[in-house]
């Protein structure tokens, strides 16, 4: 039986993971408040839940006001925020002061051994201040291929990432939403950390082959070098800090750190993780030229 809970505040509610968290919590009958930057944003209105304006501005007062009548918080780091001590720690402090019963933090696979990431600092701070928390540590999102890499697939018929011949157990962000809803609405998850991977480790050549099959046209993966990849995103206007992060994460990928599959999604939700083939079927319109 689900534990009785108050409202869950979801930060990043209009984002890839946040939307799934909101939808899955609604499906389980949990009261949800979406923290959004702009209440008039059509994407925010489409969530179908009460909205509360919020931004990571570093103010404890802002965070405290947003936490009124909130029982639990889904916390994620906006990609543009590198200084988590200035902008996320005050939110954690406000959660502690407000008596929030659970913070579910969207972290990163392997964060416990990757001390250079902002996610590591956030996890360490949650523990240091004694905030009741649950860490979700996902592998690479399948949605990277419908987001930052969509144009390469749609317009150039290629998957362009410097992953070499490595394997990655990609995870569908919708599965992260399913897991988050479970850990919020069932007891026994505070103090736990869950690594979330898909059940199928794939090379990016296999990813390209699956896309070719689903889209009915050849999609290439030619194993671009790190330099070629970084040069392309630099030419497209990526800022240096983003370039530095991309360099780091794909070196981790090439070391096969992201290769190991697991059944954590299946264990926590009772359903297997989404296969990449099913994901490609669900999103094929994104990669189809207009």
Q: Is 188 left (phi over 0), alpha (psi -120 to 50) or beta?
A: left
> Token match 């992201």: residue?
258
Q: Enter the CATH code of domain 7-138.
A: 3.40.50.720
pLDDT digits over 184-219, tens only? 999 999 999 999 999 999 999 999 999 999 999 999
Tens-place pLDDT, residues 23-46: 999 999 999 999 999 999 999 999
**pTM of the full predicted structure?**
0.93
Positions of CATH 3.90.25.10 in the chain:
141-171+199-259+274-290
Q: What is the CATH number of domain 141-171+199-259+274-290?
A: 3.90.25.10
- Judged by average pLDDT, the poorest of 106-110, 246-250, 259-263 is 246-250
Specify whether the CB–CB gap between 29 and 183 falls below 8 A.
no
Q: Minimal CA–CA distance to 225: which of 202, 245, 254, 256?
A: 254
- In angstroms, the CA 117 to CA 90 distance is 18
Report the C-alpha gap between 97 and 100 in whole angstroms: 8
Residue 2, pLDDT > 60, answer: no
Q: In the beta sheet, which residues pair with residue 75?
A: 105
195-210 b/e with 16+ CB inside 10 Å = b?
A: bbbbbbbbbbeebbeb
DSSP secondary structure letters along 153-178: HHHHSB-----TT-EE--B-HHHHHH
Query: Where in the chain are all domains bearing CATH 3.40.50.720?
Result: 7-138
């Amino acid at each position: 039986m689900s534990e009785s809970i108050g409202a869950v505040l979801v930060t990043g509610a209009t984002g890839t993971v946040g939307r799934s968290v909101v939808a899955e919590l609604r499906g389980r009958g949990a009261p949800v408040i979406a923290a959004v930057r702009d209440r008039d944003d059509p994407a925010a209105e489409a969530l179908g839940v009460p909205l509360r304006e919020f931004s990571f501005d570093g103010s404890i007062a802002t965070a405290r006001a947003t936490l009124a009548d909130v029982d639990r918080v889904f916390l994620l780091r906006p990609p543009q925020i590198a200084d988590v001590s200035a902008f996320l720690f005050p939110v954690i402090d406000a959660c502690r002061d407000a008596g929030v019963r659970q913070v579910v933090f969207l972290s990163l696979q392997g964060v416990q051994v990757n001390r250079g990431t902002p996610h590591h600092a956030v996890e360490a701070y949650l523990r240091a201040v004694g905030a009741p928390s649950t860490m979700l540590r996902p592998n690479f999102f399948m949605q990277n291929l419908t987001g930052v890499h969509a144009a390469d697939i749609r317009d150039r018929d290629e998957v362009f990432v410097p992953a070499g011949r490595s394997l990655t157990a990609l995870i569908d962000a919708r599965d992260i939403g399913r897991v988050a809803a479970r850990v919020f609405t069932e007891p026994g998850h505070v103090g736990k950390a869950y690594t979330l991977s898909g059940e199928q480790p794939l090379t990016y050549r296999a990813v390209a082959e699956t896309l070719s099959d689903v889209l009915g046209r050849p999609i290439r993966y030619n194993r671009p070098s790190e330099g070629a990849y970084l040069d392309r995103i630099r030419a497209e206007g990526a800022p240096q800090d983003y370039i530095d992060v991309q360099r780091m994460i794909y070196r981790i990928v090439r070391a096969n750190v992201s290769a190991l599959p697991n059944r954590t999604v299946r264990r926590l939700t009772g359903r297997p993780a989404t296969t990449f083939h099913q994901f490609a079927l669900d999103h094929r319109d994104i990669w189809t030229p207009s």
